[in-house]
Amino acid sequence: MSAVLQVNGLEVSVRGERGERIKIVDNVSFAASKGEVLALIGESGSGKTTIALALMGYARRGCTVSGGEILIGDTDVLALSRAELFGFRGNRVSYVSQSAAAAFNPSKTIMDQVIESAVLHRLSSKTEARAKAIKIFESLALPNPETIGNQYPHQVSGGQLQRLMAAMALMSDPEVLVLDEPTTALDVTTQIEVLRSFKKVVADSGITAVYVSHDLSVVAQMADQIVVLKNGTVREAGATMQVLDAPSDEYTRSLMAAAKSIVRVQPQSLDASDVSPAKPLLELRGVTAGFGKTDRDGMPRFRVLHAVELSLERGSTLGIIGESGCGKSTLARTIAGLHPAAAGSVCLDGETLAPHLSRRTREQLRRVQIVFQNADTALNPAQTVEQVLGRPLAFYHGLSADAARKRIARLLEQVKLPANIAPRRCAELSGGQKQRINLARALAADPDIILCDEVTSALDTVVGAAILDLIAELRRELDVAFVFISHDISAVRSVCDDILVLYAGRTVEIGKRDNFTGGPGHPYTDLLISSVPELRQGWLEETHAKTVAEPNSSLPGNGDLCAFLDRCPVRQVGTCDKTPPPRLTHGNGNEVLCHLGQTKA
C-alpha cells in the first residue's frame, strides 16, 4: 500500500532576536497510508501544531519551512507555487483546529463558512454544496441538520461547533484531514460524543487523518500509528499498540506514567474521621452566590451556586469536580471572600466568616489561602520571586528581612526549587516553576486551608503530574487541608480524600474518594467517570457513557427540578420532570441528589 502522506526530514525554523535561525522542528519523518489515522503526540513546544500546519503548506508568522519534503499523493507540497497553494489548501488537505469558537468567523453564517472551501475550489455549485453539507451534518449526528447552518457561530454550543468544523473540513473530500487538538477545549462529557463522530466519519470515508494531541488516552482511541514528539524531534514512532504496550523511549514512558491515574495519598486516619467528634475546620452551609442585580431577598439575578454545603476536616483534602461553568471557581472565590455569598455561611473552626474579605480579620485571611489556575497571571511579572514570597511573610508574620530570607529558602526547598531562583523575576520562570512559586506563596502564610483552583490544568501532563506529587507530599508533611478544584476526575481522585461533584451550581454527589470509581451514583457522576478516556485501545467502543442530547434550554429545567434533567440518560418521565430530586444517602455513604436512589436504597 503506497503512502498517501509522506513527510521526510521536515525542518521548520524561526528567526531569533539577532536574526539567527532557530530550528523548532528538526528532521521529522513519518508516513501514513490510505484510511490510516496517524497521531502526533507531544507537549507544548513539541512542534506538533507547526508540523500539522506545514502539511497544509502553511507556516505561521515568523516561521519558515526550511528543509525536508512533504508528499501528499504525488504532490510535493513544499514545491508548490503561491498560486498552486491556494488551490491545494482546504481542497486536498483540510484542517480542524483546537478552538472552534475562535476558528469560525463571528459575522458569517455557519453554512457560508462550511461551504466556502467547496465554492472557492469550484468543486460544486452553492446549492449542491449546501445539500452535501446537510448530509455531512447528519452523519456527524448534529441536531437539526437542515437548519443549523443558518445560524451564527455564537448561537450553537462548543461541541456542535467542533463537529461543524469537521464538516467544513470534509466538504472538499480531502485526501488528508488534519485534526489539531480537536477536543481539548471541550468538557470531557462532550468530548466523547465528538470523538465518536470523528471516528465514524474517518472510518466511513476512508480518509487519511493526522490527529494532533497532547492526550495519550484520546490518541489511543483514535490512532493506528503514533509519533511521539519532543522539542521538535521524533522520540518514538510505531503502531499504537506497540507504543502503548512497549514504549521504547524514556520520554514516552514518562508521558504514560503521567497519564495513568494513580492514587497519590492514602485516606487520613480513617477511623478518626469517621467518628469526627470535633467541629470541622471549614464548613459551608447553604452557600448561594451569583452575578447581576440583587432582588428583594438579596439574591442575585444569575445564580451560580445554589445552597452548596460542604465540610472539610483538618489536614484532609476535598476535591471539587465539575465541567466548565458549573461554578467551581466561584465556590473557591466565595470561600476566600473574593466573591461574597448572597446567602448561607462560611465557617472556619466554627467561627462564621464575613462574606466579603474586607470584613475578615487578617488572621482569618491568613488561615485560608487561594492558588489560581494560571500561574502566568497569578504572579506579578514586575516582581522577583523573593518579593512575591517575602510579602506574605512580612504582611502576616512581620518577619524581618533576615528571617524572611531564611524562610524563603525553606519554602523554595519545600516546593523543590533551587534557592538561587529567589532573585529572579517571575516572568523568566517556566510554567511549572511559576506554579510552584504560586504554591509557595500560599504556604508562606502558614495557612490551615489552601484552595487550589485548577492548578494543573494549564500545565503539560508531566509537569502537572509533578505538581500533583508535590501537593500530595505537602499534605503528608504539613498539617494543611486542601480544597482541590478541577475538571479532571483522575487528578481529583489522585490527591483527595473526599469528592464533591458540582453540576450547574448544585452539589449532586458528595462522598469518599473510593466510591468514585464507576458508580452507580448520580447519573452525572457516572457519565463523568465513564467519559474519561482510558489509556488503552478499544475503550471508546466499550464505554457506556452517553447523554440524551446536548444541553437543551427548551426543557423546563429551571426552578427546583433536577438541573441535569435535559441531559440525563436515565431520567424518569413523570418523576424527574415533576418533582425536585431528594438528597439521599446511598449504601456506600455518598449523598446523592437524585430520584433514582430511592428505588435502590
Partner 1 sequence: MLMILVAKRILIAAFTLLLVSFVIFAITSLLPGDAAQELLGQSATPEIVAELREQLGLNQPAHIRYLNWLGGLLTGDPGTSMVSNMPVKDIIGERLPKSLILAGLTAAVSVPLALLIGILSAMYRDSRLDRALNVVTLSMIAVPEFLVATIAVIVFAVQLRWLPSITIVSPDASFGELARAYALPVMTLCFVVVAQMARMTRAAVINQLDSSYVEMAILKGARPTRIALQHALPNAIGPIVNAIALSLSYLLGGAIIVETIFNYPGVASLMVNAVTSRDMPLLQACAMIFSGAYLLMVLIADIVAIISNPKLRHQ
Partner 2 sequence: MTRIQGSGWVGLLLVLMWLLVALFGPMLAHYEVGAIVAPDVFERMGGAHFLGSDYLGRDVLSRLMNGARFTVGLSFGAALLASASGASLALFSAISGRWIDETVSRLMDALISIPGKILALVIVAAFGSSMLLLLLIAAISYMPGAFRIARSLAVNLNQMDYVQVARARGEGRVHIAIFEILPNMIHPLLADFGLRFVFVVLLLSGLSFLGLGVQPPDADLGSLVRENISGLSEAAPAIIAPAMAIATLTIGVNLLIDSLASGGRSVTDEAQR
- Residues near partner 2 (CB under 8 A) are 336-338, 357, 360, 362, 365-366, 369-370, 372, 374, 377-383, 391-392, 395-396, 441, 445
Q: Of these, 15, 22, 76, 105, which contacts partner 1 (CB under 8 A)? A: 105
> With respect to partner 2, which residue has the nearer C-beta, 79 or 427?
427
d(CA 510, CA 515): 10
Closest approach, Cβ 164 to partner 1, in A, equals 12
Residue 337's binding partner among partner 1, partner 2, none (Cβ under 5 to 8 angstroms by kind) is: partner 2
> With respect to partner 1, which residue has the nearer C-beta, 208 or 225?
208
The set of residues, in sequence order, having a beta carbon less than 8 Å from that of 337 and lying 6+ positions away, is 346, 353, 354, 355, 356, 357, 358, 360, 365
**Residue in the structure block whose three cell numbers are 518577619:** 399
Q: Does 121 bind partner 1 (CB under 8 A)?
A: yes
Rounded to a whole number of angstroms, the CA Rg of the chain reads 26
Q: Does 108 bind partner 1 (CB under 8 A)?
A: yes
Residue 392's binding partner among partner 2, partner 1, none (Cβ under 5 to 8 angstroms by kind) is: partner 2
Provide long-range contacts, Cβ within 8 A and 24+ apart, for 42-47.
Answer: 42/214, 42/228, 42/229, 42/230, 43/214, 43/230, 43/255, 43/460, 43/461, 43/462, 43/463, 44/214, 44/460, 45/231, 46/229, 46/230, 46/231, 46/232, 47/12, 47/229, 47/231, 47/232
Q: Of these, 13, 46, 50, 91, which contacts partner 1 (CB under 8 A)? A: 91
Q: Does 285 bind partner 1 (CB under 8 A)?
A: no
Q: Of these, 29, 35, 75, 116, which contacts partner 1 (CB under 8 A)? A: 116
423, with CB counted inside 10 A (0-12, 13-18, 19+), is exposed
Q: Does 152 bind partner 1 (CB under 8 A)?
A: yes
Closest approach, Cβ 574 to partner 2, in A, equals 46
Count of residues making up the chain: 601
Helix, coil or strand: residue 95: strand
Nearest to 330 by CA among 81, 505, 208, 80: 505
Q: Does 240 bind partner 1 (CB under 8 A)?
A: no
Closest approach, Cβ 387 to partner 2, in A, equals 9
Which amino acid, residue 113? Answer: Q
Element (H, E) at 178: strand 176-180
Closest approach, Cβ 181 to partner 1, in A, equals 12
d(CA 79, CA 102): 30
Closest approach, Cβ 401 to partner 1, in A, equals 45
- Please give, one letter per residue, the 3-state secondary structure of 293-362: EECCCCCEEEEEEEEEEEEECCCCEEEEECCCCCCHHHHHHHHHCCCCCCEEEEEECCEEECCCHHHCCH
Q: Does 175 bind partner 1 (CB under 8 A)?
A: no
d(CA 108, CA 148): 13
Closest approach, Cβ 348 to partner 2, in A, equals 14
Q: Where does residue 230 fall: left (phi above 0), alpha (psi -120 to 50 degrees), or beta otherwise?
A: beta
Residue 117's binding partner among partner 2, partner 1, none (Cβ under 5 to 8 angstroms by kind) is: partner 1
Phi, psi of 341 (to 5 degrees): -70, 145
Residue 168's binding partner among partner 2, partner 1, none (Cβ under 5 to 8 angstroms by kind) is: partner 1
Judged by CB under 8 A, how many residues of this single chain contact partner 1?
A: 31
> With respect to partner 1, which residue has the nearer C-beta, 15 or 356?
15
Closest approach, Cβ 468 to partner 2, in A, equals 21
Closest approach, Cβ 373 to partner 2, in A, equals 8
* Cell, residue 267: 485516606
Q: What is the DSSP letter of 533?
A: P
| Degrees to nearest 5, angle at CA 148 with 218 and 134 | 80
CA atoms within 13 A on the CB side of 284: 26
H helices of 445-575, in order, are 461-477, 489-495, 523-531, 539-542
| Span from 70-78, 147-155, 200-208, 446-454 in contact with partner 1 (CB under 8 A) | 147-155
> With respect to partner 1, which residue has the nearer C-beta, 15 or 536?
15
Closest approach, Cβ 58 to partner 1, in A, equals 6
Residue 288's binding partner among partner 1, partner 2, none (Cβ under 5 to 8 angstroms by kind) is: none
* Cell, residue 208: 487519511
Closest approach, Cβ 88 to partner 1, in A, equals 7
Residue 391's binding partner among partner 2, partner 1, none (Cβ under 5 to 8 angstroms by kind) is: partner 2
The set of residues, in sequence order, having a beta carbon less than 8 Å from that of 554 and lying 6+ positions away, is none
Q: Of these, 99, 124, 268, 364, which contacts partner 1 (CB under 8 A)? A: 99
Q: Does 163 bind partner 1 (CB under 8 A)?
A: no
Q: Does 158 bind partner 1 (CB under 8 A)?
A: no
Instruction: Tell me the β-bridge partners of 394.
Output: none
Cβ–Cβ < 8 Å for 238, 225: yes
> With respect to partner 1, which residue has the nearer C-beta, 15 or 416?
15
Q: Of these, 1, 16, 81, 107, which contacts partner 1 (CB under 8 A)? A: 107
Residue 441's binding partner among partner 1, partner 2, none (Cβ under 5 to 8 angstroms by kind) is: partner 2
Q: Of these, 26, 32, 51, 95, which contacts partner 1 (CB under 8 A)? A: 95
Q: Does 155 bind partner 1 (CB under 8 A)?
A: yes
Chain contacts with partner 1 (rule: CB under 8 A): 53, 56, 58, 60, 85-91, 94-95, 97, 99, 102-108, 116-117, 120-121, 151-152, 154-155, 168
